[in-house]
C-alpha cells in the first residue's frame, strides 16, 4: 500500500474562557490537538439534541439497597451548551489521527506507514478514553462508594485497539477515517503487539473480569505488574520450543499513562526492632520504588472506564553510585538500579535457583505492597481529616486472584499496625473483612508454598505477623476440636496450619502430647540385664564400623519449614471461591475439607466466564450479524441469556446455510494465517480440530497427539479408497507454551512438531490429515482460531482442571467440544445438551481408585495403546529419542512414571469417541445443528454474570454512573 504524507497541523489559539469542557486538564491538552473548535465540538458533542437538563441524572444504588443517592454536580452531568464526550464523526477522527501522527507518534515525520498509523490511531482513541476515565473516577470519588480491587500477577489483555473502539461504538467511524488517510483498519490493528502481561487462563480471566466490571458500571481497579519481557516469545525450531525475550514494549505502549507522581516505597531484607513505644518497626535493608503505569479499560456502551494500574520498579537517582562509575566500576555503580528493575523483567522467572525464588517472592511482595499502599492512600484521601479505620472494609474489597497476591494479608496487617498505629485486634478484624480469595487449583501439591527461612530473610516483619496468625489459627483449632483426642487434633493441625513442619507456638506446646497407652505402659517390664547387654554390644559395633571406614546410615533430613500460602488465604479471607461447580465441590470435600468444616459459610462457587464482547462480536463479526438477525436484537451482547433463543431456529435451513458460510469464511482466514505463520497449506474443507492452551501433562496434549498417531498408523495400513471412506479430513491445530523449565512439557511440544513434520510431508495422506503447531500462541491468535474452530479438545484428567475459559469461548463461537467431565466442561455439557458434547474418559470420583489400582499393578493397557507406543519407539517420527516421554506412561508408580495423568486408561475411550466425531461431522445438518446449539447454550458463561455474583456475594458493591 502506498504511504501518505501528512502535513503538519498548526495548533489553534486557546479557546475563550466561556467554552466549557468536562475537565480543565483535558481542555488544556485538547487545545493543542490541531482539531479546531468545530471539530472539537464534533468530538465532544451530545448524543441527542434534547436539553441536557432533561436527561436522566446519574444515580448509584446504595450497598444496602435502601436508597438512591443523586449527585447533581456530577462531572458526567452537563448543563445546556456544554460539550459532551460522545461520538465523533470520521472527519474529526481523521484530524485527531493526523495530529497524533505529526506530534505524538514515536516515529519520524516523513512517512505514514502502518506502525505509525497504529500509534496515532491508538493515541486518538486514548484521548476519548481519558475523558471518560477521568469523569468515571471523579464521579466515584464524589460519591465515595465502596470499590473492588482485583490483584493478579497476570492480565492477558490481547490487542486493545479494536476492543476499545468496539466498546466506544466507533468501529465504523475509525474504519472510515483510516480509509480517508490511506489505510485499512484491520491492517492498522494488526500492527499492535499483544501486551505481554500474562500467559494463560488466569490472566485472560482477569482481563475478561475488567471488561465486565467496566461494562456493568462497577467501581473497580485492577492491579498487576508491568513486565518488560512478559513470559517469553516462543519459537519452534527443529529442536522444539525455543524461548526468546518478548519485545512488546520496544516501540512503546500507546495505551499506558505513566504516573510519576504515584510511587511507593517497597522494602526487602533489613531487620525488625522494637521502639520505645513497644511497637515493632522494620528498618534497614534494600529499598526500591514502585511507579504506577495506568491503562484505561473501557466498558461497552457506557462512559464507565476503569483503571488497570501496573507497577514498574526503580530506585531513586541517589542510589546510583557515581563515584564507583567514575572509578570504572560500572556494574557496581548500577547494581541498585539493576536489582530494582529486574523485579519487573519477566513473568514467572525460573525458580530452580535460590536467586529465582527470591525474585519471584520480590515480585509478589511488590505487587501487594504497592497496591495496598495505593488503596490505603485513596481511602485516607476520601475519608478527609477524620479517618475511621473501621470503615475500611465498607469502602474497600480486595480480591486475590490465586495465591500470588497472598502477601497483601500480612502487608495490610503491617501497615495498619506499624504505620497507622492500630492494635493487633483492630488490624486483624479489618483485614479479615477486607480480603477474599479465588482458588484456581485442585492439586494439593500445586498449592503455593514458600521457604520460611527465605521469607524470614526477605520479609522479616511479615513472618512475625504470619506466625501470629498461625498462632491464632492453632488456638481456634484447639478450641473447636478439644484436646481429648490428641491423634485427631494432631492430624488437623498438620493439615490446617499455615506454618508447615514448624513447632507449635509455646502457648500450646504443653497442651498436645503423644497419647500413651495405659495398658501397654502398665505391662511394660523394666529393662533386663540382657537388654542392657544388647545395648552395650551395639556401641563397639559402631566403633568397629568407624574404624573400618564403613558408612553409617545417613540420618533422616529434617523436613523443610514452609509457609503455606493457600492456608493463609483461607484463614484470613471472608470468602473463598472455586471457579466451577465441580472444582468448588473438590475444594470443599478434599483440598480444604477441614477448613470447610470449620467455616462452611466462607466457601462459594463462582463459575468463570468470558467477555462476550471480545469473544463474539469483535473477533467473529460475521457470526455476530447472523445472531442479531435471527434473534432480532443486539441486546444479546449485554444480555447473553438471549442467545438461548437460537435454539428454536437450530433446524432452520436458512440459518444453517448462513451459519456454515460464516464458519467457512473464518476458516479461510486461518488457512491464510497458517500459510504465513508456519508455511503449511491446509484445506478449508477439512474439519478444524483445535487444542490451544498451556502445555501441561494434566491438560493431556499427549493424549491428543497419540490419538493422531493412532489415526495416522491406521491410515497407512489402508489404500487410498479405504482411507477416504473411513476418515473425515482433519486439520489438527495445537498451540500453547511450555514453561521454560518444564522438561516433560517441552518434550511434548517437540513430539507434536515431529509428528507434524512426518504426516504433513507424507504424500499418501495428503489433505486427509494435517498437524500444525502454531508458535507463540496468544490472545490475537486465539481471536483467529476460535471463530474457525469446529471441534475443540478439553481433555484434561478429570478433577484436575479448575475450570477453563477457552472451552467457553469455543462454545460461544459454535464449536463442538470433546472432553472429560472436568472443570467448566460439566456445566457446558449441561447447557448445550449431552447430544452436542462428545464425552469420554474416567470421572473425577474414579481417579484416586484408578491410580491405586495402577500402583498395585492391576492396570491392563489396551492393545491399541501399546501399539501406538511401539509405533512411536520405532523411530517413524525421526531420530529424537522419545523413550523418557513414553516411559512416563509405563510402570506402576514413581516420579515420571506410572501414567499419573491416566493417558493410557482414557486412550481407548478417547479414540472411540473420535470415531463418533467423524460420524457426526459427515452429517452436515446434524453438525451445524450441534454448532448452533453450542452457541445457544453458552449464554450462562458470560463474565458479566460472574462479576454480578462477585459484586453481590463477595464484594458487596453496587453499580454507579449508569445514565
Please give the full DSSP string across 109-161, using - where no structure is assigned.
TT---HHHHHHHHHHHHHHHHHHHHHHHHHHHHHHT--EEEEE-S-------H
Kindly list the catalytic residues.
440, 693-694, 699, 805, 809
Backbone angles phi, psi at 550, to 5 degrees: -75, 145
| Residue 66: predicted pLDDT | 36
Cα→Cα distances 65→68, 137, 574, Å = 8, 22, 21
The rounded distance, in Å, linking the Cα atoms of 900 and 631 is 47
Cα→Cα distances 275→223, 385, 464, 648, Å = 33, 27, 16, 73
- Identify the H or E element spanning 224: strand 220-225
What count of Cα atoms within 13 Å lies in the side-chain half-sphere of residue 320?
A: 8
- Residue in this structure with the C-alpha cell 512503546, named with its chain if needed: 252
CB 791 within 8 A of CB 768: no
The rounded distance, in Å, linking the Cα atoms of 220 and 308 is 9
Handedness of CA 814, 815, 819, 822 (dihedral sign): negative
- Identify the H or E element spanning 268: strand 257-268
User: Please, which residues bridge with residue 449 across strands?
Assistant: 564
Cite the beta strand spans of 187-269 per DSSP E.
220-225, 233-237, 240-244, 257-268
How is 720-733 classified by DSSP, letter by letter?
A: HHHHHHH---EEEE
- Beta carbons within 8 Å of 526's beta carbon, 6+ residues apart: none
Cite the beta strand spans of 587-629 per DSSP E.
603-605
DSSP H helices, 435-528, are 452-458, 460-481, 486-496, 506-509, 518-523
Nearest to 583 by CA among 817, 826, 790: 826
Residue 179's CB: how many other CB atoms inside 10 A?
Answer: 13
The rounded distance, in Å, linking the Cα atoms of 271 and 285 is 7
The rounded distance, in Å, linking the Cα atoms of 69 and 746 is 57
Sheet with 791-794, edge to edge strand ranges: 769-774, 730-735, 687-692, 791-794, 816-819, 837-839
Low-confidence residues of the chain, pLDDT below 70? 1-86, 445, 512-552, 962-963
Any idea what the Cα angle at residue 249 is, between residues 245 and 254, rounded to 5°? 160
Any idea what the Cα angle at residue 694 is, between residues 689 and 700, rounded to 5°? 60
C-alpha cell at 229: 519481557
Three-state SS at 78: coil
The rounded distance, in Å, linking the Cα atoms of 221 and 227 is 18
- Beta carbons within 8 Å of 440's beta carbon, 6+ residues apart: 202, 401, 402, 579, 802, 803
| Residue 328: predicted pLDDT | 87
Nearest to 225 by CA among 434, 440, 371: 371
Return the exposure string of 317-346: e unless at least 16 CB atoms fall within 10 Å of the residue's CB, then b. Answer: eebebeeeeeeeeeeebbbbbebbbbbbbb
CB 164 within 8 A of CB 175: no
CB 638 within 8 A of CB 301: yes
Report which DSSP code applies to 962: B
Nearest to 88 by CA among 50, 44, 133: 44
CB 793 within 8 A of CB 747: no
The rounded distance, in Å, linking the Cα atoms of 188 and 105 is 14
The rounded distance, in Å, linking the Cα atoms of 477 and 671 is 60
Three-state SS at 883: helix
Any idea what the Cα angle at residue 635 is, between residues 633 and 638, rounded to 5°? 160
User: Please, which residues bridge with residue 282 across strands?
Assistant: 272
* No. of helices (H) and no. of strands (E), the chain: 39, 24
The rounded distance, in Å, linking the Cα atoms of 787 and 688 is 10
C-alpha cell at 432: 479479615
The rounded distance, in Å, linking the Cα atoms of 2 and 628 is 37
Amino acid at each position: 500500500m502506498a504511504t501518505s504524507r501528512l502535513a503538519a497541523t498548526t495548533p489553534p489559539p486557546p479557546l475563550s474562557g466561556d467554552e466549557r469542557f468536562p475537565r480543565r486538564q483535558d481542555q488544556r491538552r485538547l487545545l493543542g490537538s490541531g482539531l479546531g473548535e468545530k471539530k472539537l465540538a464534533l468530538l465532544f458533542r451530545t448524543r441527542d439534541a434534547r436539553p441536557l437538563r432533561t436527561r436522566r441524572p446519574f444515580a448509584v444504588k446504595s450497598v444496602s439497597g435502601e436508597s438512591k443517592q443523586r449527585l447533581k454536580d456530577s462531572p458526567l452531568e452537563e448543563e445546556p451548551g456544554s460539550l459532551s464526550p460522545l461520538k465523533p464523526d470520521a472527519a474529526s477522527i481523521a484530524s485527531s489521527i493526523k495530529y497524533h501522527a505529526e506530534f505524538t507518534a514515536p516515529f519520524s515525520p516523513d512517512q505514514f506507514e502502518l506502525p505509525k498509523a497504529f500509534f496515532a490511531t491508538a493515541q486518538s482513541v486514548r484521548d476519548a478514553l481519558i475523558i471518560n476515565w477521568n469523569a468515571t473516577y471523579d464521579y466515584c470519588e464524589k460519591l465515595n462508594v465502596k470499590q473492588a480491587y482485583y490483584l493478579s500477577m497476570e492480565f492477558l489483555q490481547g490487542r486493545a485497539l479494536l476492543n476499545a473502539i468496539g466498546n466506544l461504538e466507533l468501529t465504523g467511524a475509525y474504519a472510515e477515517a483510516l480509509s480517508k488517510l490511506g489505510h485499512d483498519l484491520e491492517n492498522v490493528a494488526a500492527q499492535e503487539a499483544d501486551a505481554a502481561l500474562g500467559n494463560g487462563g488466569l490472566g485472560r480471566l482477569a482481563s475478561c473480569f475488567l471488561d465486565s466490571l467496566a461494562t456493568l458500571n462497577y467501581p473497580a481497579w485492577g492491579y498487576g505488574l508491568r513486565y518488560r519481557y512478559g513470559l517469553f516469545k516462543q519459537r519452534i525450531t527443529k529442536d522444539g520450543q525455543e524461548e526468546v525475550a518478548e519485545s512488546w514494549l520496544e516501540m512503546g505502549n500507546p495505551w499506558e499513562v505513566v504516573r510519576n507522581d504515584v510511587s511507593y516505597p517497597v522494602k526487602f531484607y533489613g531487620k525488625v526492632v522494637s521502639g520505645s513505644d513497644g511497637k515493632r518497626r522494620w528498618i534497614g535493608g534494600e529499598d526500591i520504588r514502585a511507579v504506577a503505569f495506568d491503562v484505561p479499560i473501557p466498558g461497552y456502551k457506557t462512559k464507565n472506564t476503569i483503571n488497570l494500574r501496573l507497577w514498574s520498579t526503580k530506585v531513586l537517582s541517589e542510589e546510583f553510585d557515581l563515584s564507583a562509575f567514575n572509578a570504572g566500576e560500572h556494574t557496581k555503580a548500577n547494581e541498585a538500579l539493576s536489582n530494582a528493575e529486574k523485579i519487573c523483567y519477566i513473568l514467572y522467572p525460573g525458580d530452580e535457583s535460590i536467586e529465582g525464588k527470591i525474585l519471584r517472592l520480590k515480585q509478589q511482595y511488590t505487587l501487594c505492597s504497592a497496591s495496598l499502599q495505593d488503596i490505603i492512600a485513596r481511602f485516607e484521601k476520601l475519608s478527609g481529616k477524620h479517618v475511621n479505620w473501621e470503615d475500611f472494609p465498607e469502602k474497600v474489597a480486595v480480591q486475590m486472584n490465586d495465591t500470588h497476591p497472598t502477601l497483601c494479608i500480612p502487608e495490610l496487617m503491617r501497615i495498619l499496625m506499624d504505620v497507622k498505629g492500630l492494635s493487633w485486634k483492630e488490624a486483624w478484624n479489618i483485614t479479615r473483612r477486607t480480603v477474599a480469595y479465588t482458588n484456581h487449583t485442585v492439586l494439593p501439591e500445586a498449592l503455593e508454598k514458600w521457604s520460611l527461612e527465605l521469607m524470614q530473610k526477605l520479609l522479616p516483619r511479615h513472618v512475625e505477623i504470619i506466625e501470629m496468625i498461625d498462632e491464632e489459627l492453632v488456638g481456634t483449632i484447639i478450641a473447636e476440636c478439644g484436646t481429648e483426642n490428641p491423634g485427631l487434633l494432631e492430624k488437623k493441625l498438620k493439615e490446617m496450619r499455615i506454618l508447615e513442619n514448624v513447632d507449635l507456638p509455646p502457648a500450646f506446646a504443653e497442651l498436645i502430647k503423644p497419647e500413651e497407652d495405659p495398658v501397654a505402659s502398665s505391662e511394660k517390664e523394666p529393662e533386663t540385664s540382657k537388654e542392657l547387654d544388647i545395648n552395650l554390644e551395639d556401641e563397639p559395633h559402631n566403633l568397629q564400623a568407624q574404624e573400618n571406614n564403613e558408612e553409617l546410615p545417613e540420618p533422616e533430613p529434617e523436613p523443610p519449614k514452609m509457609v503455606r500460602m493457600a492456608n493463609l488465604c483461607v484463614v484470613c479471607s471472608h470468602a473463598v471461591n472455586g471457579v466451577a461447580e465441580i472444582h468448588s465441590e473438590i475444594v470443599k470435600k478434599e483440598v480444604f475439607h477441614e477448613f470447610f468444616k470449620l467455616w462452611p459459610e466462607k466457601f462459594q462457587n463462582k463459575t468463570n466466564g468470558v467477555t462476550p464482547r471480545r469473544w463474539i462480536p469483535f473477533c467473529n463479526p460475521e457470526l455476530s450479524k447472523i445472531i442479531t438477525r435471527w434473534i432480532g436484537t443486539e441486546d444479546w451482547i449485554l444480555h447473553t441469556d438471549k442467545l438461548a433463543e437460537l435454539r428454536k431456529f437450530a433446524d432452520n435451513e436458512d440459518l444453517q446455510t448462513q451459519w456454515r458460510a460464516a464458519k467457512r469464511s473464518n476458516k479461510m482466514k486461518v488457512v491464510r494465517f497458517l500459510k504465513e505463520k508456519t508455511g503449511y497449506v491446509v484445506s478449508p474443507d477439512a474439519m478444524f480440530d483445535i487444542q490451544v492452551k498451556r502445555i501441561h501433562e494434566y491438560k493431556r496434549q499427549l493424549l491428543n497427539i497419540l490419538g493422531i498417531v493412532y489415526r495416522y498408523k491406521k491410515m497407512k495400513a489402508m489404500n487410498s479408497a479405504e482411507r477416504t471412506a473411513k476418515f473425515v479430513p482433519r486439520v489438527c491445530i495445537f498451540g500453547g507454551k511450555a514453561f521454560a523449565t518444564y522438561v516433560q512439557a517441552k518434550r511434548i511440544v517437540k513430539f507434536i512438531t515431529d509428528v507434524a513434520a512426518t504426516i504433513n510431508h507424507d504424500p499418501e495422506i495428503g489433505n486427509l490429515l494435517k498437524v500444525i503447531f502454531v508458535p507463540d500462541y496468544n490472545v490475537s491468535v486465539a481471536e483467529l482460531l476460535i471463530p474457525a474452530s469446529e471441534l475443540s479438545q478439553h481433555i484434561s484428567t478429570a478433577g484436575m482442571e479448575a475450570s477453563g475459559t477457552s472451552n467457553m469461548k469455543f462454545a460461544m463461537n459454535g464449536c463442538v467440544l470433546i472432553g472429560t467431565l472436568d472443570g467448566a466442561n460439566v456445566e457446558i455439557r449441561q447447557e448445550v445438551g449431552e447430544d452436542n458434547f462428545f464425552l469420554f474418559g474416567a470421572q473425577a470420583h474414579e481417579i484416586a481408585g484408578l491410580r491405586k489400582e495402577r500402583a498395585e499393578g492391576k492396570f491392563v493397557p489396551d492393545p491399541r495403546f501399546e501399539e501406538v507406543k511401539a509405533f512411536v519407539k520405532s523411530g517413524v517420527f525421526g531420530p529424537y529419542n522419545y523413550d523418557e516421554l513414553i516411559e512416563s506412561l509405563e510402570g506402576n508408580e514413581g516420579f515420571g512414571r506410572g501414567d499419573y495423568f491416566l493417558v493410557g486408561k482414557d486412550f481407548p475411550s478417547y479414540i472411540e469417541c473420535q470415531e463418533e466425531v467423524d460420524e457426526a461431522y459427515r452429517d452436515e445438518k446434524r453438525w451445524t445443528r450441534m454448532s448452533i446449539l453450542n452457541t445457544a447454550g453458552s449464554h450462562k458463561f458470560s463474565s458479566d454474570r460472574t462479576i454480578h455474583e462477585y459484586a453481590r456475594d463477595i464484594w458487596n458493591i453496587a453499580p454507579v454512573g449508569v445514565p
